[in-house]
Chains A and B, each alone.
Chain A
Amino acid sequence: MIHRNFYDNWMKIIKCNKKELRKGKIEEEEAVRIPLTSIKINPVLLNSLFGIIYPKFINDQQNIVDIIISDDEELLEKIVLYETEEPGIHKSYKILENDILKLKKYPLKETTAFFIKLQEEIFKKHRIRVSHMRVFKKKAIEILNLYIKNIEQTSLEDSLSNIFSIIEKIIRNQLFFIYPKTNIITFFEELIQISDHNLLSHAFKFIKQILPPFNYAFLIRSGKSSFILRIENKEKNSSESKLDLQIFPAESFNIDLSGTNESDLLKSLYIQLRVDFIFLFELNHILTLLSNIFELQHPIALDKIKLFLQKFLFGLRSYETYWFKYPKPLSYNPILRYFLRLFGFIFDLKKLSHWEIPEFLFSLFYNRLGLKNRILIIFTNLMQHKNIDLDKLENPIEIGFSKAILIETENRKLTKIIPISNKVNEIKNLGLKGVRRKLMENYGYIDLALSIDLSLISKLLHNFIMSFNNFNIISKVKTIKKLKKQHYFNVYPKKPEFLYLKKTGTISLIKKILPIFIDKHIF
């Protein structure tokens, strides 16, 4: 029923898990694909990652049952029982008889009763107590098969974009569920309510589009199984790039994870991997951060996003406490910091005001845009038009329009994201003011219309998030200057904060903002 491409790969994974290869030698094993993706991975590493991630996000108990049912929920098409000694590690399976339960007597809609009865029957016949069930409708398998058919030939970007789209389709149409329900499924169910369709896939494509070129490696340290992620976003041409991801078990490199200090460890890997920068993170920190994201509920409370941002910024500032980077950025050099201080710039990134920055930004947002608002965001891509003198451009939206969304919030909650690219595309010649005016005829008052160029977002992402601690002051200042240019960033109506950004000199602006964003003391 499931496509050969998935089945064969899955069998290899089960086979490897069965052999308990953790005791064996890692390099000798043939790589498998991470299920439903085109990413290749060592099966032993996959085994241990399953052992860590599955219990954390899906279910931390043993034994699973997979059920395929007809689309009308009248028939049990296939039941597969996985006996898992360790939660999440699928070692063996049994195909059970389809008549183990009568759906007419125990309809799937009454999920709890169905599951309890199923548990009883399986225990009676196989002496195995299942902890949870994963239910697929036949239609879900068909959708997955279509996607898996060409998975070997699909690029990483397409593969990830497709899988996001499939996840959304399956969840939106209730073609798959897990019982007992998990946080991760609830999160996706609630998240996709924000928009009418293809939110996840569009979000992924958007992130890919704004991602600057980079070549980084990440050593993810975990007590059980450390591994290395090498991610490269290679620039194909000025407007396109190709994403590449490789996963290696840490043991496959000539390093000693337990003995050496972090700097030597990263240096050794840096030489072997030939990347721009290498980072060290702890797996449990990443999993905690992901857990926080999966706990978000619809409508997403902006206060929770604020809290998440505070945690994220706390993580950023905790360099050499919670994470490491090699080569070490110059920003942490005390002589340079002292030199900057002489000129009135406080640039101590270890005192980044993680608690204040989100608080400050959100209070500005609520004050100016209120507790119920509608915001139009227009994204432009002016990099496609290199021959045009952008400074003389009157309506950047007309030539550079890329996409547009309308965001609605109510009482500090994100309630709706409406994609309106097609509508805006028809009226893009009207400019930001005109587009807002036209849209207000249908949607009512729009509190803020904003146009921003993707190249600017990419620069902001690069200079203030990805390389936030690099001592690339000139590049950072250039990005702020770009922010002041109307064709890259514009808002209507002109809010005081926007006017302030435009009217204040870059150096003066930095001097005003840095004391808010950097603390005087470590709190």
Chain B
Amino acid sequence: MNQETRLKPRVAIVKSESPEKALSEGLEKIGGISEFIQEGDTIFIKITLRFASGFPSFSNLNLVKKLISLCKKANPKKIYVGSFLNEKITIQLIDEIFQFKEYFKILGAEFVFLDNSYFNNEKFNKSGNLKDLKNQSQKVININDSSIEIPKMILEADKFINLNQVNVSPLNQCTLSLENQFSILPKKYREIHYTDDNKKDIVKNDKYQEELSKRIIDAYLIKKPILTINDLFYILEGAGPYIYKDSNLKTSKFLLVGTDSIAVDTITLMLMNLNTSDNRMIVEAVNRGIGPKLLSDIEILGETLEDNIFEINLCKTKLSNIRIQNIHTFSGDMCSGCFLKAYHLLNIFKTYLIKDLKYLRENNLLIGINPSDISPEAPIILFGDCAIETTRDYAFRKITKKTLIRKKEKEVTNKNILELPGCPPNLWDCFLHLKDFFGKGDMPNLNYFISLYKKTGFLNSKEELKNWEEIE
């Protein structure tokens, strides 16, 4: 290998009988684990961890096991495994549901509670120790004039490895390693909400997506991984990145290992026959001069790219294409924020609330700026600030009724409208509003799930996380 090729980011495309074998082969192809891990190193493995849902909502644990065993060959000082979550719950709650800490202990690694939720209880809170704990465990860094807290464990690790589970996703086609790295930041720094801004401008220029891509690349620059692994062996296709009714676990048998996240992600997209210019994160990286610019700037090892391209079923890109019994979706112009939330709302309905849908009969869901005016006969759900504000003068806001005695026609306000505010709306609040609006008798499944979440620590966990994040 000459000096010139050595400087290029390396990406190995491996196809194998098992994910573990694919990882071993991939690492060998890019130089072997000893090239990346040295004796006495502290390693942080950033896994995928989205929500309290099974694989592939988190990384393939057999693959993590293999990665740990390979790292251990180099005799490191310590191996940490962890991630912040995609949803607002504590890592401790996730650990209670899956017992990751116990599993990784068997493997000789430590599963870390990046949100310090292990200590996040009343005792610490009252004594004020929680603040000290936060100062000890988090470091404040400045990015684009904003202060961001990041776990020191990640910043101070000698070697940072990004192990990403690839699933389809409504934004950016699929979950790439760059997005996985984004969750080294606490949830509050990843959330985008708009309050008084000009909504039309946000929608027109899709500021949500623009801001999201910018923040993802910023997070990447905080700590670049020495190794990036995109696990495509099993890919969640059809609907994702969570497990929904339309989700299918495709076995592609591919795994990509590389030295540069952007190079690995680019090749991942190309392998799945996806256009890299449609991916806003890659575009943002290229615009900012980060990562390889041309395919020739990447050294591809292992299988050839051209001969192994395969297709996956992506998520629906139009909300009206998510076919659900009794809900008709009418979309105006919307930003990625509202699209993302509405996408999950509709898929949750389709997966878990089938009985409720049958009871609710016909419903119209309106999203975005200036959705089409519709007949007021069926209940109307207005999703998001844009839909609420731009339909104030719509005909369906008023209905005509006959007076009881004289039977004269009278125009009254249509009360059969449910407004779900927010920019974008919060899904938990949406479900609470839906239950109140339709009643628990017509929404038995939703009533059960809300009761389940209230009784089993999800709400407490949410509160604990909020308290922790608010500590200055």
Cβ–Cβ < 8 Å partners of B234 in chain A:
371-372
Cβ–Cβ < 8 Å partners of B65 in chain A:
444-445
A475 at the interface (CB under 8 A from B): no
Interface size class, chain B: 35 or more
A–B Cβ pairs within 8 angstroms, 5 of them:
A366-B54, A367-B243, A368-B97, A512-B447, A513-B448
Cβ–Cβ < 8 Å partners of B447 in chain A:
512, 515
B252 at the interface (CB under 8 A from A): no
- Contact partner of A360 (CB less than 8 A), chosen from B56, B243, B445, B455, is B445
A363 at the interface (CB under 8 A from B): yes
In the complex, are the beta carbons of B96 and A368 less than 8 A apart?
Answer: no
Q: Mark B437-465, 1 if CB is under 8 A from A, else 0.
A: 00001001101100111011110000000
Given A373-B55, A494-B97, A496-B452, 20 more A-B residue pairs with CB atoms under 8 Å apart are A356-B354, A360-B354, A366-B243, A368-B53, A370-B53, A372-B56, A372-B234, A412-B249, A445-B61, A445-B103, A447-B55, A493-B96, A496-B52, A496-B456, A496-B458, A503-B456, A504-B451, A512-B444, A516-B355, A523-B358
In the complex, are the beta carbons of B445 and A516 less than 8 A apart?
Answer: yes
B57 at the interface (CB under 8 A from A): yes
The residue on B at minimum CB distance from A447 is: B54
Task: Name the distance in Å between A434's Cβ and chain B's nearest Cβ.
Answer: 11
A residues contacting B by CB (< 8 A) are: 353, 356, 359-360, 363, 366-373, 410-412, 437, 440-441, 444-445, 447, 492-497, 499-500, 503-504, 512-513, 515-516, 519-520, 523
The residue on B at minimum CB distance from A520 is: B359
The residue on B at minimum CB distance from A438 is: B106
B48 at the interface (CB under 8 A from A): no
In the complex, are the beta carbons of A363 and B456 less than 8 A apart?
Answer: no
- Contact partner of B55 (CB less than 8 A), chosen from A363, A371, A523, is A371
In the complex, are the beta carbons of A444 and B355 less than 8 A apart?
Answer: no
The residue on B at minimum CB distance from A504 is: B455
In the complex, are the beta carbons of A371 and B249 less than 8 A apart?
Answer: yes
A513 to B447, CA, bound (A): 10
Main secondary structure of the interface of B (DSSP, over half): helix
Task: Name the distance in Å between B348's Cβ and chain A's nearest Cβ.
Answer: 10
Cβ–Cβ < 8 Å partners of A513 in chain B:
448
The 6 tightest CB contacts between A and B, nearest first, are A370-B54, A515-B444, A370-B55, A496-B456, A411-B249, A445-B61
Cβ–Cβ < 8 Å partners of A410 in chain B:
249
Most A-side CB within 10 Å, residue of B62, B99, B251: B99
Cβ–Cβ < 8 Å partners of B351 in chain A:
363, 367
B362 at the interface (CB under 8 A from A): no
A412 to B238, CA, bound (A): 14
In the complex, are the beta carbons of B55 and A372 less than 8 A apart?
Answer: yes
Q: Mark B35-62, 1 if CB is under 8 A from A, else 0.
A: 0000000000000000011111100111
In the complex, are the beta carbons of A359 and B354 less than 8 A apart?
Answer: yes
Cβ–Cβ < 8 Å partners of B441 in chain A:
515, 520
A493 to B444, CA, bound (A): 27
Task: Name the distance in Å between A454's Cβ and chain B's nearest Cβ.
Answer: 26
Most A-side CB within 10 Å, residue of B55, B62, B236: B55
Number of inter-chain CB pairs below 8 Å? 108
B436 at the interface (CB under 8 A from A): no
In the complex, are the beta carbons of A367 and B448 less than 8 A apart?
Answer: no
- Contact partner of B455 (CB less than 8 A), chosen from A356, A367, A372, A503, is A503
A366 to B351, CA, bound (A): 10
A231 to B102, CA, bound (A): 49
In the complex, are the beta carbons of A371 and B56 less than 8 A apart?
Answer: yes
In the complex, are the beta carbons of A493 and B99 less than 8 A apart?
Answer: yes
Cβ–Cβ < 8 Å partners of A515 in chain B:
441, 444, 447
Most B-side CB within 10 Å, residue of A372, A445, A497, A519: A445
A519 to B444, CA, bound (A): 10
Task: Name the distance in Å between B305's Cβ and chain A's nearest Cβ.
Answer: 26
In the complex, are the beta carbons of B56 and A440 less than 8 A apart?
Answer: no
Cβ–Cβ < 8 Å partners of B61 in chain A:
444-445
B245 at the interface (CB under 8 A from A): yes
A370 to B60, CA, bound (A): 11
Cβ–Cβ < 8 Å partners of A494 in chain B:
96-97
In the complex, are the beta carbons of A437 and B102 less than 8 A apart?
Answer: yes
A363-B54 contact given A411-B248, A437-B102, A499-B455, CB 8 Å threshold? no
B118 at the interface (CB under 8 A from A): no
A369 to B52, CA, bound (A): 9
- Contact partner of B106 (CB less than 8 A), chosen from A366, A441, A497, A500, is A441
Cβ–Cβ < 8 Å partners of B458 in chain A:
496
In the complex, are the beta carbons of A373 and B54 less than 8 A apart?
Answer: yes
Cβ–Cβ < 8 Å partners of A495 in chain B:
97
A495 to B445, CA, bound (A): 18
The residue on A at minimum CB distance from B358 is: A523
In the complex, are the beta carbons of A492 and B444 less than 8 A apart?
Answer: no
A77 to B445, CA, bound (A): 64
B124 at the interface (CB under 8 A from A): no
In the complex, are the beta carbons of A493 and B243 less than 8 A apart?
Answer: no
Give the residues from 342 to 370 in chain B that come closer than 8 angstroms, CB to CB, to chain A. 351-352, 354-355, 358-359
Cβ–Cβ < 8 Å partners of A499 in chain B:
455-457
A444-B62 contact given A356-B355, A493-B97, A512-B451, CB 8 Å threshold? yes
The residue on A at minimum CB distance from B53 is: A367
A148 to B102, CA, bound (A): 53
A378 to B271, CA, bound (A): 43
B119 at the interface (CB under 8 A from A): no
A353 to B249, CA, bound (A): 28
Task: Name the distance in Å between B420's Cβ and chain A's nearest Cβ.
Answer: 23
Most B-side CB within 10 Å, residue of A353, A363, A513, A519: A363
Most A-side CB within 10 Å, residue of B54, B61, B251, B354: B54
Cβ–Cβ < 8 Å partners of B53 in chain A:
367-368, 370
Cβ–Cβ < 8 Å partners of B209 in chain A:
none
A7 to B94, CA, bound (A): 64
Cβ–Cβ < 8 Å partners of A445 in chain B:
61-62, 65, 103
In the complex, are the beta carbons of A370 and B455 less than 8 A apart?
Answer: no
Cβ–Cβ < 8 Å partners of B181 in chain A:
none
In the complex, are the beta carbons of B452 and A493 less than 8 A apart?
Answer: no
Cβ–Cβ < 8 Å partners of A366 in chain B:
54, 243
The residue on A at minimum CB distance from B352 is: A363
Cβ–Cβ < 8 Å partners of A496 in chain B:
52, 97, 452-453, 456-458
In the complex, are the beta carbons of A516 and B448 less than 8 A apart?
Answer: yes
Cβ–Cβ < 8 Å partners of A412 in chain B:
249
B138 at the interface (CB under 8 A from A): no
Cβ–Cβ < 8 Å partners of B60 in chain A:
372
B213 at the interface (CB under 8 A from A): no
Task: Name the distance in Å between A473's Cβ and chain B's nearest Cβ.
Answer: 21
In the complex, are the beta carbons of A369 and B54 less than 8 A apart?
Answer: yes
A447 to B103, CA, bound (A): 10
A169 to B354, CA, bound (A): 44
In the complex, are the beta carbons of B354 and A493 less than 8 A apart?
Answer: no
A371 to B60, CA, bound (A): 11
A445 to B104, CA, bound (A): 10
B194 at the interface (CB under 8 A from A): no
B310 at the interface (CB under 8 A from A): no
A504 to B456, CA, bound (A): 10
B98 at the interface (CB under 8 A from A): yes
The residue on B at minimum CB distance from A500 is: B452
Most A-side CB within 10 Å, residue of B103, B358, B444, B452: B444
Cβ–Cβ < 8 Å partners of B102 in chain A:
437
The residue on A at minimum CB distance from B245 is: A363
A444 to B60, CA, bound (A): 11
B247 at the interface (CB under 8 A from A): yes
Cβ–Cβ < 8 Å partners of A353 in chain B:
355
A445 to B64, CA, bound (A): 10
Task: Name the distance in Å between A245's Cβ and chain B's nearest Cβ.
Answer: 40
Cβ–Cβ < 8 Å partners of B106 in chain A:
437, 440-441
The residue on B at minimum CB distance from A443 is: B62
A503 to B57, CA, bound (A): 27
Cβ–Cβ < 8 Å partners of B96 in chain A:
493-494
In the complex, are the beta carbons of B56 and A370 less than 8 A apart?
Answer: yes
Task: Name the distance in Å between B195's Cβ and chain A's nearest Cβ.
Answer: 33
A200 to B21, CA, bound (A): 34
Cβ–Cβ < 8 Å partners of A519 in chain B:
355
